[in-house]
Amino acid sequence: MRDTLLITGAAQRVGLYCALALQQQGYQVIISFRTRHAAVAELEAAGVICLQADLTDLVSMSRFIAEVKSHSPQLRAIIHNASDWQKDLPIAPTTASDTDLLAQLQQDAAVFDAMSHIHTRAAYLLNRALLPLLQAYVRENSEGSRSEKQGLAGGLMADIIHLTDFVASVGSEKHQAYAASKAALENLTSSLARQLAPTIKVNAIAPALLMFNEDDDEHYRKKALAKSLLGVAPGADEVLATINYLLQSRYITGRVLPLDGGRQLRLP
C-alpha cells in the first residue's frame, strides 16, 4: 500500500505543484479544495483524491475529515497549505461616530477571524482530528521489517508540516492579521512538536516570495526581487524540495525552515 499524504488547499499555485509532484513520486495524495478550479480535473486525472471542503466551516470540515478517513486508514503526513490573504482595512478617523466605530470593529474582527480560522484554527482542529491516522501509520510501519519503505517514507515517523510565511517572524504593516495568524501557526508547530515526539515530527516552512502572479508588472517584480539577497523567485519547486527534505529527515522537529533568499538580512 502506498503511503498517503494529505495536503490542504492544493488546487492552485504551490499546493497544486506539490500535489502533482508528490503523486508522481509514488505517494497517494489527498487534497482539499474550496473552489473547483480547472486544475482539479488535472489532479484527478493524475490519481490525486480531491475533496471539496471549506475549512473555516465546522460542518464542512467534519464531512471532510470523514471522507479522508474513508479513503485511508492512515496518513504518512499532513501538509497544511490552505491559506487566504486579506489586507487590513483603513483605521476610522478620530472624528468617527459611534456607528462608524462599531462598523470598524466589525470589519476588523471579520478580517482577523478569517485569517485566524484558515491559518491557525483549521490546522489545530485537523491535526487533532486526524492524529489517530498519523499514529496508525507509525504503528503499521513499526510492525515487522519495513526496510523497503525507509527511502520513501523516511522510516517509522509521521509528519505534520505547516506552511507559514516570512512575515510571521518580522510582522507586516499592511497585513497584520495575516502575519499574526501565521505566527500563531508557528507557535502551534512548537507545541505539537513537544507533544507528538518522538514518533511524529512537526515542522513549518516559511516562504517569502516564491512566484509572481501573471498580472504583476515589471516595476513590482524588480522591487520584490530586490528585497532578498539572492534576487530570484525560485518557484514552487523550492517548497517541494523542502517538503521532501523534511519527510526524509529523522532528526528535525519543532523548527521553522525559512525560504527567503536571505531576505531577513535586507531588513532595515
**CA distances, 172 to each of 87, 149, 181, 206 (Å):** 10, 42, 11, 14
Name the active-site residue from 17, 27, 137, 178: 178
Give dist(CA 111, CA 113) in Å, integer.
Answer: 6
124 is catalytic: no
Distance of CA 261 to the CA centre of its chain: 19
Q: How many CB atoms lie within 10 A of CB 133?
A: 20
Distance of CA 3 to the CA centre of its chain: 19
Which residues contact residue 147 at a Cβ distance below 8 angstroms, ignoring those fewer than 6 apart?
none
Give dist(CA 62, CA 200) in Å, integer.
Answer: 23
Give dist(CA 116, CA 184) in Å, integer.
Answer: 8
Task: Determine contact, residues 253/197, Cβ cutoff 8 Å.
Answer: yes
Q: What is the CA radius of gyration of the chain?
A: 19
Catalytic residues: 178
